[in-house]
Amino acid sequence: MSRLNTSLEAEGAEFLVLGNLLVEGVEAHKLYTNFPGYDVVAVNPRTNKNCRIQVKSRWATDFDGGFPIRNFDCDFVVFVALNRGYRYRRKATGEDDGRREPRFYVLPAEVLRKAHDARKARKLDDKWGKVFLKDIDDLDLYLSDWRAIKAFLEPAES
């Protein structure tokens, strides 16, 4: 199967994350130069804190549940399942083309690193350094959890 060019969709995922943060009342900015490890920065000017966010996405609705990540130099990774259609299996019967609403998983970087390291420990690491959603405990807690980024930007409790 030939490699699908999804660069526009990947850019779109970054803008979707940016838009969701802004709608949630979080000041955020998309970075347009290559900052290794993060794509969006959220800030709280009141507390002078910032949050580095890496955006990962998958185009296909029927992706394998994993995505490659090698750089954990961020505070959060927002994984966006874009759900733009089927790519890896035959179209289901009927008119179902696989298109669904995007899903956002707001994951602390430590949670992903733990899942990544656990795969390596079980000798399941591949050349892509993939993390699989199934390896993340209580995954549903991270679904559209923009509050986690808001809480990160608040002042530390004394």
H helix intervals, 26-143: 109-121
pLDDT in tens, 25-81: 999 999 987 788 999 999 999 999 999 999 999 998 888 889 999 899 999 999 999
Q: Using an 8 Å Cβ cutoff, are 76 and 104 in contact?
A: no
The topology under which CATH files domain 7-153 is: Trna Endonuclease; Chain: A, domain 1 (3.40.1350)
Residue 158: pLDDT above 70? no
- pLDDT value at position 90? 59
Domain ranges of the chain: 7-153
Radius of gyration of the chain (CA): 16
Summarize the confidence of residues 109-126 as an average pLDDT. 80
Distance from C-alpha of 16 to C-alpha of 51, rounded to nearest angstrom: 17
Residue 92: pLDDT above 60? no
